[in-house]
Amino acid sequence: MTPSDDRTQLEHALGLTIDPELLDLALTHRSWAYENGGVATNERLEFLGDSILGQAVTVMLYTTYPELSEGDLAKRRASLVSSVALAEVARAIGLGEHLKLGKGEELTGGREKSSILADTVEALIGAAYLDLGGDAATALVLRLVDPLLADPDRFGAAMDPKTSLQELAAHLGLGMPVYVIEEHGPDHSKVFTATVVLAEEAIATGEGTSKKQAEMGAALEAWTTLQSRR
């Protein structure tokens, strides 16, 4: 699969138009860059976007929830800026089809990998900041996380997906979730894949750069799947 050249739909989902060169850079994964003569990657934009994301979410939570303690605010912020949440946002806007990936990542399902999707969301936020300024980048962050905030059940699941899945599985009489972990890649760049098994059925998978991240992604995906069966 090649990346979609028509980015109108993506820009519509983002609610803004980013300079084409910056947008292209934000969508360029290092695997593509490596296979195409070492061109620039989205990693610097990701670094910038991560900082903007954290600040925007922190200010929004502080002003929106004056009754919450520092600890509760920190938990909510962590859930909204997590790779699990950002990957969910990315899938909702169809980001995967626009990624510029190398052949290896393409063959291993890179367009659906939570870590790649989450990093690209941050890169897009960074690109929006450079092209349109801080206010536009902050507004983009708030638009992206708003669907999670608007759904209390999903927000709760995103905050603690493993506990939410365990509670839902118990309610449905499915027993305790079991996580089967696989790892691949070199030691300096390992990727972990977690599969959630309930009542001897593989319900969902997740991946990440740590076992915890992979389990959280799998748990949220499994929670979503079980919710649809209720």
CA 74: distance to chain centroid?
Answer: 18
Active site residue 122: yes
Q: Using CA atoms, how far apart are residues 51 and 62, in angstroms rounded to an integer? A: 17
Residue 46 assigned to a binding site: yes
Marked catalytic residue, from 122, 131, 207, 221: 122
Residue 146 assigned to a binding site: no
Is residue 158 within 8 Å of residue 84, measured between CB atoms?
A: yes
Is residue 151 within 8 Å of residue 85, measured between CB atoms?
A: no
Active site residue 50: yes
Residue 207 assigned to a binding site: no
Q: Helix (H, G, I), strand (E, B), or coil: what is residue 56? A: helix
CA dist 111 to 61, 72, 88, 98, Å? Answer: 30, 33, 13, 9
Marked catalytic residue, from 50, 88, 105, 215: 50
Q: Which residues are catalytic?
A: 50, 122
List the binding residues for Mg(2+). Answer: 46, 119, 122
